[in-house]
Amino acid sequence: MNVSSLIKQYFTSDDNDVTIDVFDEKNIYSVYKRVVSVLTKNMTIETTVLQGMSYCFYEILDNVLTHSEKEMGTVITQHLTSEHSLAFLVADDGRGIQASLSENNNYANISEPDALKISIMDSVTDGKGMGFGLYSTSLLVQNAGLLFIVRSGNHTLRVQNGIMSVEKSDFWQGTIVYVRLRTDKEIDPAEVVSRRTDIANQYNESFLNDSGIEELW
């Protein structure tokens, strides 16, 4: 995987501003905890955004191990205080969204552009998950998003300013999910998960309890 190319395409500032992690089944949770803990330590990021982001972030990491048929993925993160933005990218070189969804008989003959469009809808899955990760991410972007990209195969889905488009793009073997968020806007994290679970409390227990604060410092 050409990480340098991904940084140049999706992260326009100095390369030194980004952090890069490779994750697999053994370290996925530790990578997740480290990234979110570092962001939690930064007092310029709105807590409600982190409450929503932390849920979606783990779901997207887990999607790689569940659906791509690859044992590892790459995550790149960037927080730009001056621009009030937070971005993360999760990439794999697996089978891609169209091939994954085609395992479900309902989507056996789906085109690649349509596969990308429905991948961010509720309960759309290849049968190995709930189909909620990208959907909840789309809701997060509705509330605090600047840009949401899902790229797989020869096509890229882009959601920006409430407008979704799917266009042909350079081939990518696997899937790339890129999310850029505002960090200065208060949101209702319950809306990110359609009020199905208490993600605010889950985040608070994991990152804002006494022991979590001690770990950060």
CA angle, 69 then 50 then 100, to 5°: 20
Element (H, E) at 151: strand 145-160
pLDDT higher than 50, residue 12: yes
Of 190 and 17, which is predicted with more confidence?
190
Identify the pLDDT of residue 211.
46
From 3.30.70.1250, 3.40.50.720, 3.40.50.970, 3.30.565.10, which CATH number describes the 21-208 domain? 3.30.565.10
pLDDT higher than 60, residue 65: yes
Percentage of the chain surpassing pLDDT 90? 83
Q: How far apart are CA 114 and CA 135, in angstroms?
A: 15
pLDDT higher than 50, residue 37: yes
pTM metric for this prediction: 0.93
Q: How far apart are CA 196 and CA 193, in angstroms?
A: 6
Any idea where the domains of the chain sit in the sequence?
21-208
- Over residues 98-135, the pLDDT tens digits come to 999 999 999 999 999 999 999 999 989 887 877 789 99
Instruction: Assign residue 190 a region (left: φ > 0; alpha: ψ between -120 and 50; beta: otherwise).
Output: alpha
pLDDT higher than 70, residue 212: no
Helix (H, G, I), strand (E, B) or coil at 198: coil
